[in-house]
Structure formats: C-alpha cells, structure tokens
Amino acid sequence: MAVDETLGVVAGWLHTANRVLVFTGAGISTESGIPDFRGPNGIWRTSDPALATIQVYLADPEVRRARWRARLTSHIDDAVPNAGHRAIADLERLGRAEVVVTQNVDGLHQRAGSSRVIELHGTTREAKCLSCHDRMPIARVLSRVEEGDDDPACERCGGILKPATISFGQPLIEDDVERAMAEARRSDVCLAVGSTLSVWPAAGVALTSARAGHRLVILNDGATDLDDAAAAVVPGRAGTVLPRLVGAVRARMHEGH
Ligand code: NAD
C-alpha cells in the first residue's frame, strides 16, 4: 500500500478509536537536533554504552565528573519541539490522543503542549539523589558544578546525585511502567513513533497493545523489532508524516464521517 493510502486508513482508525496512546522514542526528537542512540547517526556509533551504566556511574567519580561536565555543555535545554511533537499535541487537542508514553528524557512533548506524558526513562530537567531519592531542578545542581563542585553530593543526605534519567542497569519507576501498561491495555490504537522498539521493558507498551488485539501503528524511518506485530507500518520522518496524518484526521472530523 502507498504511504498516502496507509495514512488514510490509519487516520480512519484514529478518528473512530475510543482511546489512543502515542508511544515515542528518540526518533521524534532528532528533527529538534537531539541525536538518537540506534539510528544511522545514533550516539552508539561513536560512544560506548558500557560507560552509561549505573554501576560505572556509582563506582567511578571521574565518570560522574565527566557526566556533569557534559551535561553543563549539552545543548539539550536549547532544543525546541518540532512539527512531530506539535502534531501529537494537536492530536490531543482534537480529542484523539489521551496519553503520550515516551522513552525520551528531553521534555519536548510537554513543551509542545501535550498534557499527559509518562516519561518511562525519566527526565534531564531534574536531578535525583541515588540514596534518599530527593529530586531537584537540574539547574540548581548545574550551578554548583559551574562554581567548581565537580561531583556534587546531595544537600540533604550526602548521597550521589545524577540527572533524573534511567541509566542502563537502573530499574524503571514501577508506577510509571504500570500506568503505561494499563494505558496500552485500554487504548484501542497505539501509535508508536521514532523508536526501534528494542529497548525493554519500554517496548512492552507497544507489544502489550498488539497482544491485547489493539491496532499497533508504527511510524519510523527504519525497520523496528515489532513491525511484524503491527496493524500498519508507515515509513518516513516524524516531522513530515505526523502533520499529514493529523491533517487527515482533522479532515475526517470536519467531514463528520
Ligand atoms: P533508538 O535510538 O533506539 O531508535 C530511534 C529510531 O528512530 C531509529 O529506528 C531511527 O531510525 C528512527 N528515527 C530517527 N529519526 C527519525 C525521524 N525523524 N522520524 C522517524 N524515525 C526516526 O530510540 P529508542 O528506541 O527511543 O531508544 C533509545 C533510548 O535512548 C530511549 O530509551 C531514550 O531513553 C534514550 N534517548 C532519548 C533521547 C531524547 O530524550 N531525545 C535521545 C537519545 C536517546
């Protein structure tokens, strides 16, 4: 089926669905200038995932110092939502997307206007104490790093601080996973955008949807691990395809069919 034809079919599903879950991965933010991990220009082409584990972070103060220095100079806070994020927020405004479950840590869905976002892998906008779990705005910690405190400790308990993202080897927050899985079971369409669907347990959201007999729609610019489980696969760039898809949903709503 041609892409336009597939988009028409998917727009029909979104139009008539009782509840829609949008699941996103790093691919939706590449057009905002944030590289993904596993795509053709992904971070794992040039850096070693073994250095991103929680065990290494806990054991080696030099790794922590390097991480804070990198966070200080990172441009992630300068990134702005792109047409793909905005299209998903539009879908919510049209009453056609109840929730966004994201693997991303960049906060761009919220900045685009999506109001219910479950961040399965945490957020770079906050820091967290790995001992007492106190959370604080990342800016507070970064200003200490800037002033020379290169491996800042928790001001409450002295524990090790880390950006509030989930590193390899760190468990996800159980309540977030449960809420995401519950949404996958009750939503009759799951629109998965910009993810290889290969990172677990996050990819379980899409698989749970398909196994529950719901329609899993995959929009990605490359193959994913769950293409065979999908009701439809739409190839392409999120920032181009999503606005077209949302336009087609809007047109159906206006026509009232
Ligand atoms: P991934 O890196 O495994 O895969 C991204 C997929 O998106 C690839 O298949 C790639 O081909 C595709 N893609 C890239 N640009 C696209 C575009 N414009 N339109 C459509 N598809 C596009 O991403 P993942 O599966 O989400 O897993 C990586 C993990 O890394 C995530 O769990 C996340 O926690 C983390 N991460 C987050 C960010 C972020 O917050 N923006 C960035 C990098 C990595």
Residue pointed to by tokens 């057009």: 31
Mean pLDDT of 163-187: 96
CB 100 within 8 Å of CB 114? yes
pLDDT at residue 218 tops 90: yes
**pTM, entire model:** 0.94
Compute the distance between CA of residue 90 and CA of residue 248 in angstroms, rounded to an integer.
Answer: 12
Cα of 81 to ligand 1 centre, how many Å?
Answer: 15
Cα of 197 to ligand 1 centre, how many Å?
Answer: 9
Among the listed residues 75, 121, 133, 254, the single catalytic one is: 121
The pLDDT, as a whole number, for residue 129 is 98
pLDDT band at 4 (very low <50, low <70, confident <90, very high): confident
pLDDT digits (tens, 9 = 90+) for 21-48: 999 999 999 999 998 887 776 666 666 6
User: CA separation (Å) from 252 to 82, 88, 215, 219?
Assistant: 24, 17, 19, 20
**β-strand 99-102 against 20-24: which pairing, if any?**
parallel
Compute the distance between CA of residue 206 and CA of residue 199 in angstroms, rounded to an integer.
Answer: 11
Please list, in sequence order, all residues whose beta carbon lies within 8 angstroms of the beta carbon of residue 14, skipping any fewer than 6 positions away.
20, 91, 96, 189, 191, 245, 249
Mutate to test the pocket of ligand 1, among 23, 30, 37 (most ligand atoms within 8 A of CB): 37
pLDDT band at 220 (very low <50, low <70, confident <90, very high): very high
The pLDDT, as a whole number, for residue 69 is 93
Whether residue 121 lies in the annotated active site: yes
